[in-house]
Amino acid sequence: MNKEPIIAIPADLDDPDDFAVSEAGVERALMGRNIRKLRHALGLSRTEFADRYGIPVANIRQYKIGRTMPPPAVQVYPKVIAAEPERLRRQSPRNATLSTLAMMATDSRTRSSLTLRPSAARQ
């Protein structure tokens, strides 16, 4: 009996930080991948991203490798940050709290841009 995991998403060969994802880890890994791609799009290191948006570096590492899934409230972070990076940047990093992000997620100007399109997520 073969216990090899079934690969659902192969690693992107053009991205040395990318890795293959099993069927069981798809949702967790996609969250980590989205955070990493957002970080790269903003030109930030993991530490800079963590400091700027108040997310512990250790958590980002866990999300990146698909080991853990962020709590539902934290799952909106990448979408809100992608939609309004400068608005959040103007605040002190520690003030970019869940309540701030939740408020922004309900703001009509932000809400319309919260959906990450498949083409944007792949860039």
- Per-residue pLDDT reduced to its tens digit, 33-59: 888 899 999 999 999 988 888 888 998
Q: By C-alpha distance, which of 33, 31, 25 is closest to 6? A: 25
Domain 8-122 has CATH 3.40.50.300: no
Burial of 27 (0-12, 13-18, 19+ CB in 10 A): exposed
63 band by pLDDT with thresholds 50, 70 and 90: confident
Residue ranges per structural domain of the chain: 8-122
How does residue 21 score in pLDDT terms, banded at 50, 70 and 90?
confident
pLDDT in tens, 72-106: 767 887 888 888 887 766 554 455 555 565 666 66
Helix, strand, or coil here: 20? coil
